Chain A
Amino acid sequence: MSAIEQTAAPVAPAERDSPLIVRFEHVTHWYGNVVAVNDISLELGPGVTGLLGPNGAGKSTILHLLSGFLSPSRGSVTIDGVSPWRHPDVFRTVGLVPERDSVYAFLTAREFVTASAKLHRLPDPKAAAERALDLVEIEQAADRPIQTYSKGMRQRAKVAAALVHDPKVLLLDEPFNGMDPRQRLHMMDLLRGLGGQGRTILFSSHILEEVEKLADTVQVVVAGRLAASGDYRTIRRLMTNRPHVFVLRSTDDRALAGVLIASGAVQGVSLTAGGLEVHASDHGTFTRELAKVTRAAGIGLREVVPSDESLESVFAYLVGS
């Protein structure tokens, strides 16, 4: 049985069928006179969502608002219609992995996760703890005090404690911090699997590669504001004020450059070692025109690669603007 399958085992199918909706409505939060989060509205459903933004953008504030450790200065935050502020009962269905490295370091991981299971009043805390430890692959070291762990192992112990009650919503603040590449891939598989089972997973990161590999959708936060929300490729296509960049390879790149410029479908072309780099103002018009003009000119197209549809480009455009 795979690790992901094991998490599904103790949960009744009926519970899985009713995913929780996490909702922010015009949420603003101030720290003194500093606005950390500014009029954010968003809704999260099942699946993995990446909360992306530079350091200090307000990602942790959003997660703390969701977990009831901050109250919104304005607006409302709800999980399945209930405000988490002053309602610890939400943690029956929510798991939190805080960013800061502080854990009960004097406990072993097994003690820590079992204590978490007991605090959730699970019927069989030991079995739940074993399942969670197995899930994050930390069983071998589970009887060592957490203070002897590497940062990545501590992180896994925290994730095990947050997963012990099989929550429907899992909030993770920079979960990949300190993890080595193998642990990182394993954690990504784990979170992807949990999201695939209908859980709502929200994780924050300032590392684009992590979000790009893992998240179904992204929430991009810049300077406390929600700069973009949704699938990042769709976001990119909606940025009509930014030219789309493609790299083309054809039977005759120089001739193709000429016909493309003449057609008016592109803003500019340049011949590079990797092929013909094209800047097009409209994604749809360009892709339609490209087929027509190459056919008319008798040029064979070998490759069309959108070179700025990565999350990195989207993020750079959003932060830059």
Chain B
Amino acid sequence: MYNSTVAWISFRALFGRRRALLFVLPALVLIVITLVLKNAHGTQSDWPALVLGRVGVGAVVPLTALLVGTSVLGSEIDDNSVLHLLATPVPRRDVVVSKIAVSAATTTLFAAVPVLIAGIIAQGPHKLAFGCFLGAVLGSIVYSCLFVLISAALRHPVIYALAYVAIWEQLIATLVGGAKYLSIEQWSLGIAHSVSNSGDLDSHLTFTPSIVLSVIAVAVTAWYASERLSAFTVRAN
């Protein structure tokens, strides 16, 4: 299912554009905030959980995934270079799986790893850092699936991806009780909370629903993205 040539082209495309410079910005902001608070408060108070949970898992992971996930397929669809990939007998499912793998790996590198580093800066090698890291890795994978699906299915994927993160997760999921079950951020925080046992993380789900819902989301989004890419049509001039 994973095609190394598709992945290689995707990595080259991802890091061959200026947009790649943006990938480091959210992580940089997280590290700077962590360093400033560490100098101001040391390890006292509950700031590490708030920063790692709200800024790290809640903002850096989805923003990085948005930048990466919509670039990895959406940019190729926008400029039609994807035709060179699709004019081959490679199954569309393999294209989607490879694109998701590239997006998840890149998001993990530029978002989940910085969350771990920020956690270690804040409290040393503590359970909170590892819990948030695992939550961020899960978020990197699920967000990547969702954003690759949005890229395969819709024009202007960045707008729809931004609407999901900003409106659904940050607004509706915090105001409407049941919406948390459809929030990748909440699934990530559910994992982080289960591993770290930190009550300061703004988590509303436990381990089992977080994992089950994530697995279902990965399977459904990857399948549907493959379906959409199988029915890819060239837009009229």
Specify the chain B residue showing the minimal Cβ separation from A106: B16
Specify the chain A residue showing the minimal Cβ separation from B227: A86
User: A119 on the interface (CB 8 Å rule)?
Assistant: yes
Chain B: interface secondary structure?
A: loop
Binds A, one of B57-65, B75-83, B124-132, B215-223: B75-83
User: B212 on the interface (CB 8 Å rule)?
Assistant: no
**Which residues of A lie under 8 Å from residue B230 when comparing CB positions?**
86, 88
**Which residues of B lie under 8 Å from residue A161 when comparing CB positions?**
84
Bound CA–CA A122/B232 (angstroms): 25
Instruction: Choose from A69, A98, A100, A116 the contact partner of B233 (Cβ within 8 Å).
Output: A69
Specify the chain B residue showing the minimal Cβ separation from A145: B16
User: B92 on the interface (CB 8 Å rule)?
Assistant: yes
Interface residues of A in 106-131 (CB under 8 A from B): 106-107, 112, 115-116, 118-121
A118 with B5: in contact, given A88-B88, A106-B16 (CB under 8 Å)? yes
**Which residues of B lie under 8 Å from residue A95 when comparing CB positions?**
87
User: A60 on the interface (CB 8 Å rule)?
Assistant: yes
**Which residues of B lie under 8 Å from residue A60 when comparing CB positions?**
234, 237
User: B89 on the interface (CB 8 Å rule)?
Assistant: yes
Q: Are B80 and A119 in contact (CB under 8 A)?
A: no
Q: Are A119 and B88 in contact (CB under 8 A)?
A: yes
Q: Are B83 and A96 in contact (CB under 8 A)?
A: yes
Q: Are B89 and A103 in contact (CB under 8 A)?
A: no
Q: Are A120 and B8 in contact (CB under 8 A)?
A: no
Q: Which of B8, B79, B81, B84 has the most CB of A within 10 A?
A: B84
Chain A: interface secondary structure?
A: mixed
**Which residues of B lie under 8 Å from residue A107 when comparing CB positions?**
9, 12
A102 with B5: in contact, given A69-B233, A86-B231, A91-B89 (CB under 8 Å)? no
**Shortest CB–CB separation between residue B124 and chain A, in angstroms?**
41
**Shortest CB–CB separation between residue B202 and chain A, in angstroms?**
41
User: A70 on the interface (CB 8 Å rule)?
Assistant: yes
User: A162 on the interface (CB 8 Å rule)?
Assistant: yes
User: B28 on the interface (CB 8 Å rule)?
Assistant: no
Specify the chain B residue showing the minimal Cβ separation from A107: B12
Q: Are A98 and B86 in contact (CB under 8 A)?
A: no
Q: Are A119 and B5 in contact (CB under 8 A)?
A: yes
**Which residues of B lie under 8 Å from residue A119 when comparing CB positions?**
3, 5-6, 85, 88-90
Bound CA–CA A31/B237 (angstroms): 10
Q: Are A88 and B90 in contact (CB under 8 A)?
A: yes
**Shortest CB–CB separation between residue B172 and chain A, in angstroms?**
33
Q: Are B87 and A96 in contact (CB under 8 A)?
A: yes
A88 with B89: in contact, given A69-B233, A71-B233, A115-B8 (CB under 8 Å)? yes
Bound CA–CA A315/B229 (angstroms): 38
**Which residues of A lie under 8 Å from residue B84 when comparing CB positions?**
98, 103-104, 112, 116, 158, 161
User: B25 on the interface (CB 8 Å rule)?
Assistant: no
Bound CA–CA A90/B89 (angstroms): 7
Specify the chain A residue showing the minimal Cβ separation from B91: A88
User: B236 on the interface (CB 8 Å rule)?
Assistant: yes
Bound CA–CA A94/B86 (angstroms): 12
Bound CA–CA A149/B215 (angstroms): 45
**Which residues of A lie under 8 Å from residue B79 when comparing CB positions?**
102
Q: Which of A56, A67, A103, A118 has the most CB of B within 10 A?
A: A118
Q: Are A106 and B232 in contact (CB under 8 A)?
A: no
Specify the chain B residue showing the minimal Cβ separation from A70: B233
Q: Are B81 and A116 in contact (CB under 8 A)?
A: no
User: B13 on the interface (CB 8 Å rule)?
Assistant: yes
Bound CA–CA A195/B219 (angstroms): 45
* Pairs A–B under 8 Å by Cβ, sample size 12: A69-B233, A86-B231, A94-B87, A95-B87, A98-B83, A98-B84, A98-B87, A102-B80, A107-B12, A115-B5, A119-B3, A119-B5
List of 5 A-B pairs having minimum Cβ-Cβ separation, nearest first: A106-B16, A119-B88, A96-B87, A102-B81, A118-B5
User: Which B residues contact A (CB, under 8 angstroms)?
Assistant: 3, 5-6, 8-9, 12-13, 16, 79-81, 83-92, 230-234, 236-237
